[in-house]
A and B are shown apart, each in its own frame.
Chain A
């Protein structure tokens, strides 16, 4: 089995996420059956797949929220499954994660949501610096006016954008997006797609987008990976992936087209 040690030194520098032979099952049901993927520095990989294909499980494994049964996950040179709690916390600071439902803290307003991780992880910052960082992050997503609003007062699209701002405030190297456009109207989807591209250009981040939305995949992905029944069935550019006769991919494409 190829590991991160086996790939050439030049390539090693470039590969920021390396997943090999990852398997995961829940109550005897196999969700991931040996997933392999590599994401290079500055690249935006989109993992496409139907609901229940194990996409969300895959990124939760990457940040150590779940543990795989088999295989290795290497992020920024750290083998995630071998990290202790402290090392994992350190690695997580370099990773941004946008949850499907945004996961904003209900009991805090937007300002507190954004400053929460800053206050805890960058203790040298004073109040003014934190306020500036929060304002800058909100300006990036065009929602400065919501600073003192509670999450319950925001729309779905606004929550996603605040989620992106909260994630970007720590200036992560890697960003993991879990269904960034799920449940949004087409216009807001385009806004979120543009924001994903803007973040990548502005901060030169490496990203992994988990989605079942073809338009999101097409607009944001440098490379697409198709996941089905817990394995990668096709990898390449959008054109390469969908220029195929594989019925699993054709069905997925046609269904999205009808939608």
Chain B
């Protein structure tokens, strides 16, 4: 009995050490991958055409789903907040509450999660299938740097497009919130804007932009890394697409927590 539990403890220790080593190797590989992205981004030739193509694919093609989701979230959040504010007779605070929630948290987070699902999985699957069908090797043999052409352009495009998409998402979310408030409280657009933006500070806007850049970079790096290093045929492609989404979302939540802590430090300093 004792010996059995001893073996179990040993096995756990062994698997923990493997897990820890894999985690460390994973961090190391990610750091190398990111350094390579910076190096290739700054080194000519610059792939402007591919960057514009990717910006279009990532940005414009994501507009419909971001529009729908942000607009609905604006309405739903306003609807959910109203009963609590009615209890305190503070429905006049709704515009401020909605604006703060959308600009500070909802717009960056919702946009990031949508893009992690839509764009992250797409990048993971596309690069993964290019890897397993030797298209990346073919590119390398034709004297084109596949890392620069495929990875750098995608990471750069999503990092550039993310702040624009977050701003767009915030506008649509606020529009949804305004329509709901206008319908219930007959608040005018001017009052909504005045009340709403009275509480939004420069720090809030800066934080939102920083968050969106960080989230965009995270989605790009995760999707590209998983796809570019895919193996094991079609199973590997599926795993790359899946890991791109799951890992991106997980990292985004951790980043959200860290960034909020940092911003709050500056806010109350």
CB within 8 Å for A92 and B135 given contacts A106-B129, A106-B130: no
Decide if B8 is an interface residue (CB 8 Å cutoff): no
Highest count of chain A CB atoms <10 Å: which of B130, B137, B141: B141
Complex partner residue of B142 from A60, A90, A100, A116, CB under 8 angstroms: A116
Contacts of A92 in B (CB 8 A): 140-143
Using a CB-CB cutoff of 8 Å, which residues 111-163 of chain B contact chain A?
126, 129-130, 133-135, 137-144
CA A104 – CA B142 in complex, angstroms? 12
CB within 8 Å for A116 and B137 given contacts A106-B129, A106-B130: no
Contacts of A1 in B (CB 8 A): none
B contact residues, total (Cβ < 8 Å): 14
CA A101 – CA B130 in complex, angstroms? 12
CA A104 – CA B135 in complex, angstroms? 6
Contacts of B140 in A (CB 8 A): 65, 92
Main secondary structure of the interface of B (DSSP, over half): helix
Contacts of B139 in A (CB 8 A): 105
Highest count of chain B CB atoms <10 Å: which of A90, A92, A120: A120
Smallest CB separation, B152 vs chain A (Å): 15
Interface residues on A, range: 20 to 34
CA A106 – CA B126 in complex, angstroms? 9
Contacts of A116 in B (CB 8 A): 142, 144
CB within 8 Å for A117 and B137 given contacts A106-B129, A106-B130: no
CA A170 – CA B141 in complex, angstroms? 12
A121-B143 in contact (CB<8A):
yes
CA A97 – CA B129 in complex, angstroms? 19
A120-B144 in contact (CB<8A):
yes
A99-B142 in contact (CB<8A):
no
Decide if A131 is an interface residue (CB 8 Å cutoff): no
Decide if A103 is an interface residue (CB 8 Å cutoff): yes
Decide if A3 is an interface residue (CB 8 Å cutoff): no
Complex partner residue of B141 from A95, A105, A107, CB under 8 angstroms: A95
CA A60 – CA B137 in complex, angstroms? 9
Contacts of B137 in A (CB 8 A): 60, 65, 99, 103
CB within 8 Å for A89 and B143 given contacts A106-B129, A106-B130: yes
Contacts of A111 in B (CB 8 A): none
B130-A97 in contact (CB<8A):
no
Decide if A192 is an interface residue (CB 8 Å cutoff): no
CA A89 – CA B133 in complex, angstroms? 21
CA A89 – CA B140 in complex, angstroms? 8
Decide if A63 is an interface residue (CB 8 Å cutoff): yes
B142-A101 in contact (CB<8A):
no
Nearest chain-A residue to B132 (Cβ)? A101
Smallest CB separation, B121 vs chain A (Å): 16
Complex partner residue of A117 from B130, B134, B143, CB under 8 angstroms: B143
Decide if A93 is an interface residue (CB 8 Å cutoff): yes
Binary contact readout A111-133 vs B (1 if CB under 8 angstroms, 0 otherwise): 00000110011000000000000
B135-A117 in contact (CB<8A):
no
Nearest chain-B residue to A178 (Cβ)? B134
CA A105 – CA B143 in complex, angstroms? 15
CA A106 – CA B122 in complex, angstroms? 14
CA A116 – CA B143 in complex, angstroms? 10
Nearest chain-A residue to B57 (Cβ)? A107
Smallest CB separation, B165 vs chain A (Å): 22
Using a CB-CB cutoff of 8 Å, which residues 164-197 of chain A contact chain B?
170
CA A105 – CA B135 in complex, angstroms? 6
**14 more A-B residue pairs beyond the given contacts A95-B141, A101-B134, A105-B135, with a C-beta to C-beta distance below 8 A:** A65-B141, A89-B143, A92-B141, A92-B143, A93-B143, A97-B138, A100-B134, A103-B134, A103-B138, A105-B138, A107-B126, A116-B142, A117-B143, A121-B142
Give 16 CB contacts A-B under 8 Å: A65-B140, A65-B141, A90-B143, A92-B141, A92-B143, A93-B143, A99-B138, A101-B134, A103-B133, A104-B138, A106-B133, A106-B135, A107-B126, A116-B144, A117-B142, A121-B143
> Which of A's residues lie within 8 Å of B, judged by CB?
60, 63, 65, 89-90, 92-93, 95, 97, 99-101, 103-107, 116-117, 120-121, 170
- 10 pairs of A and B residues whose beta carbons are closest in the complex: A117-B142, A103-B138, A103-B134, A89-B143, A97-B141, A99-B134, A103-B135, A92-B143, A93-B143, A120-B144
